[in-house]
Structure 1
């Protein structure tokens, strides 16, 4: 099911080569981050201090780590992300017409073609997520891992929704096949998807860590269950906190929650320039993806399971609903993974189940096509129960 379209050698570097370069580049970037300025330094953003990111930068900045942001695209022209955004891919048709295509792959060379592959963001959600992960050291609003690279993959439409979970699963597999070390999923919904589940298992088998948000809910409404895919055992499920370290009022949580991270009033890049304040578990997940990039950069020999174990075992205990606690990047980087408790692994999805799920998914896609031809567009309504969406506020 994985799609290998863009076999860019930059994306397909062997991890050992990337990590060797990381040792040199991380040191240079750390010096830039810590160098005294000729004027008073801007205060460090509260979420950076809350997870101890600046303490890690002299040792690791995320250099050599590729984080796939499967979202609404990423504005590669934003100054904060200059040089950090790799060529990506878009699964959203920019000209739907009467019969929308599932894939928009582009066909001509040049800037327009490049933008069609994820390096543009009409919504702004993916740009904010990417900036929180990897905005540059000199931007004034650095990301958690300012040396990391972003692999942008667009699956959310202009209304910040996706309409086909199998398509998002295909995006996950494409990210794995094209060099991702970490996959950030700041999206989700109420219903499970077998093809999407198999894609998560595919990432786990290929040593790629998947981080996803638990979801948001209405402040005065009933408590929601943790969204899919965050509730899957192989996914690092992240809820959001405020500056006091308490769970944010609208952040979903449950037994499946693994970690918490700052998720309220965060300063992030805005598509087409500038910055904005963002709130939601989408952005808490981005913070954890950034922390994971720091750990993978500092410990290139660690597996995805060991990175996950370091992040959860060293989290600072917090209030109710925060899983293992609030992520502590500095403690995770300093952890001795050999003495940390192991994470119980979920059974892998069998090949037979995968084939059955793929066949079922094909049937559903065929039905969707028939409905589309009949003029009925399948989409998650705004506020509709179970409608797939991004976890933003």
Structure 2
């Protein structure tokens, strides 16, 4: 399930090259809230210390990569990253726009890096490492947990499901990338299918679902997933390339951080509810679709227009959603040309797919590489 991508090119100096920050009215939102007071855990491939964010923006974090049996002396610090995936997610959330990297959507937030084996020959261990990471994040103050990694639907959930439930019991709001397998078998991230987890898909700058975006009843929100500033090959410098559902997920996590920063008294359910209520809904009039869920995340509606009703603090807004499935590509001859769905008032984000790194790497980059496991609504 490795994902291919077009050749990445060195990033230009413009930190809003696709205009998504401008369209989201980021500058105006930051006058109300910039994510301050909110910790976002990024459970991914680690984070390489680069000059693209302030030193205080990234916390020490933890690494759960075990050393090879034959090299017990080897260590894998959280502030390192084989492939740049986690580094890109971190910059999308708290970047300062320097050195060719992106300006983060929630620059005042803190990122708590949790390093897993994504991007390494030990990627088979990512699910158990992510489970440990969820518990660590919840115990160390993370309000938002970003999982731009995933697992396939047949992956055992005996460790991940209890870890998700534990993090939720601690008040954390979890976002998981749907995956970048929409044009093939349409495998979706099994983590996104767990109760209470927000599944995130990718759209382009016009709000149209990206054809590669994995989709289904577990799609809840979307953000932009086209060209973005991502880390170049071997995590050397910044390049412009496709971001995919991974980047889209980081933007939705950052959106939650902005809303929570403005309303620190709200619970995870309330933050999720207003993001769903204020999303740019499908233009066909449906409440939701399998391609774009309830629509494009628009935190500006909450911060600048005071829209959304947070509702009950202890009720999951996804507990009993009205599901209106969208037919898969080719299933309906009368359907529009892919992508199949479009959201109103799109606010560009990113959607990048990573170069293929070998079959074992399906765990972190293509589903945002993927090892997928998704949620069924209860």
Aligned alpha-carbon RMSD (Å):
3.0
Q: 2:168 matched to which residue of 1?
A: 204
Question: Which of 153, 173, 195 does residue 114 from structure 2 map onto?
Answer: 153
2:53 counterpart of 1:80: yes
The aligned counterpart of 2:292 is 322
Distance change >3 Å, CA 137–CA 234, structure 1 → 2: same
Residue 125 of structure 1 contacts residue 392 of structure 1 at CA under 8 Å; is this kept in 2? no
Asked whether 1:91 is paired with 2:53, we answer no
Gaps of 5+ in 1: 1-40, 107-115, 348-380
Question: Does the CA contact (< 8 Å) of 1:137 and 1:146 recur in 2?
Answer: no
For the Cα contact (< 8 Å) 2:93–2:104, is it kept in 1? yes
Q: Which one has a bigger Cα radius of gyration?
A: 1
- Report Cα offsets for 1:206-245 as digits up to 9, x if no partner: 11111110011163x2333x21101112111100001121
Give per-residue Cα distances to partners, 1:346-373, cap 9 Å, x unaligned.
59xxxxxxxxxxxxxxxxxxxxxxxxxx
**For the residues of structure 2 that align with 1:339 and 1:139, how far apart are their CA atoms?**
42
TM-score by length of 2: 0.72
How many residue pairs end up in the alignment?
305
Distance in 2 between residues matched to 1:42 and 1:89, nearest whole Å: 29
8 Å Cα contact 1:117/1:153 also seen in 2: no
Distance 2:15 2:118 in 1: 36
Find the partner of 1:142 among 103, 106, 114. Answer: 103
Structure number with higher helix proportion: 1
> Taking structure 1 as the reference length, what is the TM-score of the superposition?
0.70
- Give the corresponding residue for 2:90: 130
What 5-or-longer segments of structure 2 have no aligned partner? Answer: 1-13, 284-288, 321-356, 370-378
Alignment of 1:1-393 (within 5 A): 45-93=18-66, 95-98=67-70, 116-136=76-96, 141-159=102-120, 161-190=123-152, 191-217=155-181, 219=183, 221-224=184-187, 226-268=188-230, 271-318=235-282, 320=289, 321-333=291-303, 334-338=306-310, 343-344=316-317, 382-383=358-359, 388-390=363-365, 391-392=367-368
CA distance in 1, matches of 2:39, 2:91: 14
Offset of residue 318 of structure 1: 2.7
Give the Cα separation in 2 of the matches to 1:89 and 1:313.
35
- Alignment partner, residue 332 of structure 2: none
1:164 to 1:327, Cα distance in 2 relative to 1, 3 A: closer
Separation (CA, whole Å) in 2 of partners of 1:308 and 1:178: 21
